[in-house]
Amino acid sequence: MAADPDSLISLLIGRLDVGGAERQFTRLALGLAARGHRVDFLTLFRGGPLAAELEGVAGIRLLPLYQGTFQDVIQRNKLRRNFLYWRASRRLLGYLRECRPEVLYSSMFTTNFLAAWRGRQGGVPVVWGMRTADPRVMEYEGFPIRMCQRTAKRVDRVISNSRSGLELLDQLGCVKCPGDVVPNGIDAERFHPDAGHRNSFRQTHRVGDEELLVGIVGRPQDLKGHDDFLAAMKILIDAGLPLRPVLVLPDFQDPGMQRIRSLAEEAGIAKRLLWIEGGNAVEKIYPGLDFLCSSSWAEGLSNVIAEAMACALPVVATAVGDSADLVADTGSVVPPRDPVAMAAALRALIEAGPEHMQQLGARARQRIVQDYSVARMVERTEQILREVAAPPRGA
């Protein structure tokens, strides 16, 4: 698969919402286009906050299989999920037969099984992406996973962003081909320490000079462990530490918000919290924090942890997925579902003093720049896609 005008790579994902998998595919598309490839970025539904980063970029076409947004399609059609999948798969097959890409690279269970189902019929090699290591995934992705189990032997290669994700896929019976680990790529130019953003953030939210901001970033889902984070913050606040917890959420309309508000009220720390609607501008938020906590019960390789490290933040993370390998000696790792251990680790970092915090932060950023760059992720993925790809048309 040479990077020439006849080389076409197709990427497939559900929506371009703000999320780890979506952000990584967006960076990959931009990186492949910059390296001379034509990229067709297929989505099940139109739009999403990340679409703006791809629109108008030379070499990239955005091709939604449904012309409406997710809500538009669901409300307008009132169709059963299986029929929506079938119709999307028919449109995908038509695209593959007409455009004949050299390879189709999908991500997430739903689009993975659609890619495997129609890729073989369309004569296109298929690569699956794996972005989760949640052992409870069958509880909320049961049907797509069962379809992935049935279609796994049609797949030519699997790429996971973590060892734990590849292991989970194998446990689920969804691996019948070689698998590779390609860690997430972090844009260290976008995510970096910034005194201007730090001062602006803290002034906007009236944060005192003596106050330490401890952030958690992510959707208000059970597996992100917001309840454990709040319990750890209560321990530290009750102990008299000058902390202000910061909850950064993509969308305040998320139905999970109310549960977190209730937990904060029950803990008696609601008035100490800062609620931030992060959306797609978290690079302006990280520099305002002093620490990041990741209290997840399950992760593959966390974008949030890596982005915070790129912004030179010490991180306290739970030992799930590949988080311990990512954080290494730049922060602390604690058992999941243990707010006492999280509070103790954070307190130890605070009591070590500002100079120690700065040293950890500098080491964290250096680790991301050296080992988790976007360029490295794009180059390694391109190499795998080249190994799998069909010969260019006319070759």
Number of CB atoms found within 10 A of residue 348's CB: 12
pLDDT by residue (tens digit) across 12-26? 999 898 777 898 999
The fraction of the chain above a pLDDT of 90, given in percent, is: 73
* Domains of the chain: residue spans and CATH: 8-185+373-388 (3.40.50.2000), 195-371 (3.40.50.2000)
Read off the pTM: 0.85
Distance CA(260)–CA(265), nearest Å, equals 9
Angle at 151 between CA 124 and CA 131, to 5 degrees: 85
Distance CA(354)–CA(361), nearest Å, equals 10
Distance CA(326)–CA(305), nearest Å, equals 8
Backbone angles phi, psi at 151, to 5 degrees: -110, 0
Q: Which two tokens stand for residue 162?
A: 């973590």
Backbone angles phi, psi at 120, to 5 degrees: -65, -40
Distance CA(174)–CA(147), nearest Å, equals 9
Chain-centre distance of CA 100, in angstroms?
29
Q: Which two tokens stand for residue 267?
A: 């803990």
Judged on CB neighbours under 10 Å (0-12, 13-18, 19+), 180 is: middle
Q: Is residue 394 very low, low, confident or very high in pLDDT (cuts 50, 70, 90)?
A: very low
Q: What 8-state DSSP symbol labels residue 194?
A: -
Q: Do 191 and 377 touch, CB atoms closer than 8 A?
A: no
Question: Which has the closest alpha carbon to 184: 266, 301, 268?
Answer: 301
pLDDT by residue (tens digit) across 99-143? 999 999 999 899 999 999 999 999 999 999 998 877 778 887 888
- Which H helix or E strand runs over 334? strand 332-334
Query: Residue for token digits 């049609």?
Result: 154
Distance CA(278)–CA(296), nearest Å, equals 18
Distance CA(107)–CA(381), nearest Å, equals 13
Number of CB atoms found within 10 A of residue 197's CB: 18
Judged on CB neighbours under 10 Å (0-12, 13-18, 19+), 252 is: exposed
Query: Residue for token digits 């990077």?
Result: 3
pLDDT at 238: 96
Distance CA(362)–CA(204), nearest Å, equals 26
Distance CA(11)–CA(103), nearest Å, equals 9
pLDDT at 78: 54
Number of CB atoms found within 10 A of residue 376's CB: 15
pLDDT by residue (tens digit) across 328-349? 999 999 999 999 999 999 999 9
Number of CB atoms found within 10 A of residue 138's CB: 12
The fraction of the chain above a pLDDT of 70, given in percent, is: 93
Q: Do 104 and 124 touch, CB atoms closer than 8 A?
A: yes
Q: Do 30 and 291 touch, CB atoms closer than 8 A?
A: no
pLDDT at 73: 59
Q: Where are the alpha helices (DSSP H) in 69-194?
A: 70-77, 81-99, 109-119, 137-151, 163-171
Distance CA(126)–CA(152), nearest Å, equals 10
pLDDT by residue (tens digit) across 242-291? 999 999 987 777 777 888 889 899 989 999 999 998 766 899 999 999 99
Q: Do 250 and 262 touch, CB atoms closer than 8 A?
A: no
Chain-centre distance of CA 284, in angstroms?
18
Backbone angles phi, psi at 213, to 5 degrees: -100, 125
Q: What 8-state DSSP symbol labels residue 395?
A: -
